[in-house]
Structure 1
């Protein structure tokens, strides 16, 4: 087996990687032994730690079959350590201008004045500063603490401003999955109202223009039973607590959302997940598509009632 020429280390999907294109059929371990200048035990350790991917899919199998044209990527030890240092989030894409993450429920997007608990923002700030102390992270949009899913950050202040100023035109799709209480009888619908926030930070919905902020949400039922409904929700506007308030307004609050009318908490979390974000890259102009799987616990609750 001939030694393959590697591409220069690149940063994609949040990791510094070295990539090799396979030129002849082989098994993975022998291929790595020939192409990586390390001992057999070191190469096995790289595999075991999950640093190797074939065509973008991570693998730990020594005998994986490679065919000509396959791309084998190896994540550096340093970037692996950076990734493992993150708690409650994973980096799914990174370049010089933006970082896209998949956030878990229970993690704040940004700090509040109530305490010093970890946030997505401060963890990512530490993440990029490991490459250079002057690196920074900028907030583009937010997810509620108990909402999980796809979230976008900027790595330059100019990029942040461009994304925020062109948000309505740049974002082609922003989808959420909501698990709500009760059986939603109407298969799809649009909710339009005006939202105002009280001094106690609760948002209220009014079907008529009362001087509040106009909010428009579209929903489609994807699964349901007698107890719960799973909805796909898209937003024309991105107001604070918009989906939560709108679901309460139609009599189907999001499960676990006591603040907005829920009477049950079967998931032990808020039943809201940011599933899809599609936007135009602020620098390259390329269409970027990011998806996060709907939590299995959401789906299980909408299985046929016994």
Structure 2
């Protein structure tokens, strides 16, 4: 089950232990994955609460605000598969009820139990901290407003997986609880197929490769993920396969196939091996990492950034087994205009350099 984004604010520093009879309000909820091994709850939540430090989570637990299966626990409690974790605070939560909003959707497939959507870059997929309106799920709620059985606020339906705000491409939405459960198991068991196209800094000596490394919150930047050794207890295991599609000397177009689906997986893995995504500000991709020092080259790169002002990453293909029919479903999304323009500009740049050398 996916959690809502949440940040433990500085107000926690002013909280006291809960008194008898004090009313509490649910602010955040998560059900632990079936594959989770026992792990301290403060460490577990530090990886799942995007902007919240481990110290702040410990403060909340000591104050009695973190509950597991309906009862408060301390920060040394070890979470187990199936646990339901809730954050209960002494003030009502911000009303982030998902409301239907008339936002255009590019629907590439739809039937009675699911729909596949091609998301544009810049669209947040789910309401969360700072983005309570104008999201993909608000658009889905509008599209399915006449379907009485679909409640966008019910976690048993809706998005099965996510992609970042500034990543474009394919997503599957479940209309029924059975469909979401079935598709969720396929993602968990790694039987789905997802491939991405990415333009990354640098050239590769090899044609294909495999990146393995746990992914967890970067302790120096809570908005960024970092890669840790596979045998460490930090983060979650993650594997990305890649192959070269086209070389442009200073940047390379690659296909990335996910074996797992962690937050920022491709972005973090590529930075880890020295190939940050082009124009990915969060992971250093807006620096000129390869090429010459000439003024003309710097101007060329700045023009590239203007063409594609976000990480050059597109969820190109999505494949899964239909939860009702058992049929294999495979979808393909063409590169969006900004990435097409960016790649065309690099092709022209390389072609021009080759002619100058002749």
- TM-score w.r.t. the length of structure 1 is 0.67
2:323 alignment counterpart = 282
Per-residue CA deviation, residues 34-78 of structure 1 (Å, 9 max, x unaligned), is xxxxxxxxxxxxxxxxxxxxxxxxxxxxxxxxxxxxxxxxxxxxx
Aligned residue in 1 for 2:150: 135
Q: Does 1:161 align with 2:195?
A: no
Query: For each residue in 1:185-231, what CA deviation from the matched residue of structure 2 results, as whole angstroms up to 9, or x when unmatched?
Result: 32110000111214613211023422121110000010111221100
SS in 1 for 2:278: coil
- C-alpha contact (below 8 Å) 1:248/1:254 kept by paired residues: yes
User: SS of 2:243's equivalent?
Assistant: strand
- Structure 1 residues 248 and 292 mapped into 2: Cα distance closer, same or farther (>3 Å)? same
Between the aligned partners of 1:303 and 1:216, the Cα distance in structure 2 is 30
Say which SS state the counterpart of residue 279 (structure 1) adopts. Answer: strand
Please name the residue that 1:28 is paired with.
Answer: none
- Aligned counterpart, 1:299: 343
1:229 to 2:260 alignment: no
Matching residue of 1:109: 125
* Alpha-carbon distance between aligned partners in 1 of 2:237 and 2:345, rounded to the nearest angstrom: 32
1:54 aligned partner: none
Distance 1:168 1:116, change over 3 A: closer
SS at match of 2:238: strand
Matches within 5 A, 1:57-96: 85-87=102-104, 89-96=105-112
Q: Which residue of 2 aligns with 1:123?
A: 139
Deviating 4+ runs (over 4 angstroms) = none
Query: Unaligned stretches of 5+ in structure 1?
Result: 1-84
Q: Which string of whole-angstrom CA distances, capped at 9 and with x for unpartnered residues, describes residues 84-136 of structure 1?
A: x533x30111101001000000001111121333111111111111x334433
Q: 1:153 to 1:229 in 2, by over 3 A?
A: same
- Whether 1:245 and 2:268 are equivalent positions in the alignment is yes
Give the Cα separation in 2 of the matches to 1:223 and 1:290: 22
Mapping 1:14-53, distance limit 5 Å: none
Question: C-alpha distance in 2, partners of 1:230/1:122?
Answer: 33
Instruction: Give ranges in structure 2 of 5+ residues lacking alignment.
Output: 1-101, 153-157, 289-304, 353-358
TM-score by length of 2: 0.58
Structure 2 CA distance for aligned equivalents of residues 218 and 290 of structure 1: 19
Counterpart in the other structure of 1:268: 309
Structure (1 or 2) with the greater strand fraction: 1
Number of paired residues?
220
- Alpha-carbon spacing, 1:154–1:222, altered in 2? closer, same or farther (3 Å): same
The whole-number CA distance in structure 1 between the counterparts of 2:269 and 2:107 is 30
C-alpha RMSD of the superposition? 1.9
Distance 1:170 1:283 in 2: 19
